[in-house]
Amino acid sequence: MKEKTIYEHLREKGLSRRDFMKLCGTIAGMMGLEFVPPVKALGKTLGQSPEEVVAQALKTKPKVPIIWLEFQDCAGCSEAISRSSSPLLSNLVLNDIAIEYHETLMAAAGFQAEKAKEECMKQFFGKYVLVVEGSPTLADDGIYCTVAGKSNLDLLKEAAAGAAAVIATGNCACFGGIPAAHPNPTRAVGVAELIKDKPVVNIPGCPAIPEVTTGTILHFLIMGQLPETDQLKRPLPFYGNTVHDHCLRRPFYEAGKFAGSFDDEGARKGYCLYKLGCKGPTTYNACAGLKWERGLSYPVQSGHPCLGCSEPHFWDGGGFYQGQSAPIIRLDKGSTANLVGVGVAAGAALAGLNAVKKSRAKKDLRKDQSQAPGSEPGSKKEG
């Protein structure tokens, strides 16, 4: 039997053609598809709009099964996606694209669940998308995070072997996140450091913006490949700009108007939160554009500085409420006093040595002069 396409699935559920085209437009926007190169056919150049590309893909492509693994995580990214602001999108991903295995969301449990995963991995070998939430741990062969008696390293390798692509969602899966914070007892790392032979894309954030995760999954579904990424493997449509670039408080930054505390006049007037520790200038994420809760707001809009949760080591990058320009490791009073002591001691020691040398030289000079006949005492140089 031929596999049903996504469009057929949606039609069966009673989605009208108009709603379908709306959905396609939303997806195209979500994916950041601004422009699709015109297609040459029959001697003519056919312009193709982004939503047509999406519609074409949904009409012709079968469902993509997703296996969603969780390691050292808080399930926050899953929570975010299940409360995604666009019900159509999350429905599409949760119900129609088919997440075959998800420990938190699936009804099955125990051996039943594991069996479902194994069957899925066998049936769709080389086709499924592996989504990883939470950081894998390297310490002691990964025994600090086990599911069904298997270490997370084995689980990851096993699932990645048959995956068409790997999507790491959340800062933990991308860069180690909070489990990797100093002193990192479990040696948590990002997925991309372990999986080298498959295409990996990072969707960092704490949690990852659900629209970005679904957008990336849909991008893979529609274009057949992962989106273009930056140096840290983050998809450019979503991580191309900093939070600072699109910040609605940016004019205040430019004018040098800053809130000095959370309850001063500046904070009430909506001034820039740079002095309260905002990490917006170095944080690449779509917060300021997509926002959260159906575009309702995002942290900086609500009056809280950006924590930089989509950047590596955000937990150890200085205090959240400490200005970004401040040094991460501070010289405290004790160590400053010690350093001054060291400098003073070294200086004094050297000066003492010099003094001894000088007095010896003087003595020698005096001796020489008293021995040498006809020397004039007046020619003696003051040292």
Partner 1 sequence: MNWTNILNFSRGPLLHVAMIIFVAGLSYRLVRVLLLGWARDRAKNKGSKLWGVIVNYLKGLFVLPFIPWVRRTFRHNELTFIAGGLFHLSLFLVLVFGTAHILVWKSLWGFGWKGLPTPILAFFSAVGIISMIVLLINRLTHPVLKMLTKFPVWINWLVVFLPMITGFIMARHLWFRYEVIFSLHLISVSLLLIWIPFGRISHFLFYFFSKTIHGAQAGKRAVTP
| 365 sits near partner 1 (criterion: CB under 8 A) | no
> Minimal distance in Å, beta carbon 258 to partner 1?
6
Does the annotation place 309 within a ligand binding site?
Answer: yes
Q: 293 or 316: whose CB is closer to partner 1? A: 316
Q: 39 or 345: whose CB is closer to partner 1? A: 345
Does the annotation place 145 within a ligand binding site?
Answer: no
Q: 38 or 319: whose CB is closer to partner 1? A: 319
Q: What does the DSSP 8-state code read for residue 3?
A: P
- In 3D space, the residue among 224, 227, 225 whose CA is nearest the CA of residue 62 turns out to be 224
CB 31 within 8 A of CB 219: yes
Query: Rounded to the nearest 10 degrees, what angle do helices 17-30 and 50-60 cross at?
Result: 110
CB atoms near residue 329 (< 10 Å): 7
Surface-to-core class of residue 117, CB atoms within 10 Å of its CB (0-12 exposed, 13-18 middle, 19+ buried): buried
Q: 139 or 339: whose CB is closer to partner 1? A: 339
Q: 46 or 337: whose CB is closer to partner 1? A: 337
> Minimal distance in Å, beta carbon 230 to partner 1?
9
Does the annotation place 206 within a ligand binding site?
Answer: yes
- Among the residue ranges 55-63, 80-88, 106-114, 256-264, the one whose residues contact partner 1 (CB under 8 A): 256-264
Among 124, 242, 288, 305, binds partner 1 (CB under 8 A): 242
CB atoms near residue 313 (< 10 Å): 15
Site string for partner 1, 212-241 (x = CB under 8 A): -------------------xx---------
CB 171 within 8 A of CB 177: yes
> Minimal distance in Å, beta carbon 186 to partner 1?
21
Strands (E), 121-253: 129-133, 146-147, 150-151, 165-169, 200-203
> Minimal distance in Å, beta carbon 215 to partner 1?
23
For the segment 113-142, give every residue that binds partner 1 (CB under 8 A): none
Does the annotation place 306 within a ligand binding site?
Answer: yes
Amino acid of residue 201: V
What is the spatial distance between Cα 156 and Cα 153, in angstroms, rounded to a whole number? 5
CB 267 within 8 A of CB 259: yes
> Minimal distance in Å, beta carbon 221 to partner 1?
29
Size of the site for partner 1 (CB under 8 A): 43
Q: 183 or 327: whose CB is closer to partner 1? A: 327
CB 132 within 8 A of CB 69: yes
Site string for partner 1, 315-344 (x = CB under 8 A): -xxx---xxxxxxxxxx---xx--xxxxxx
What is the spatial distance between Cα 314 and Cα 329, in angstroms, rounded to a whole number? 15
Q: 151 or 242: whose CB is closer to partner 1? A: 242
Using alpha carbons, list the distances in angstroms from residue 339 to 326, 328, 345, 360.
Answer: 20, 19, 10, 32
**Binding residue positions for [4Fe-4S] cluster:** 74, 77, 172, 206, 244, 247, 272, 278
In the complex, the residues that contact partner 1 under the rule CB under 8 A are: 231-232, 242, 244, 253-258, 274-275, 281-282, 311-313, 316-318, 322-331, 335-336, 339-344, 346-348, 350-351
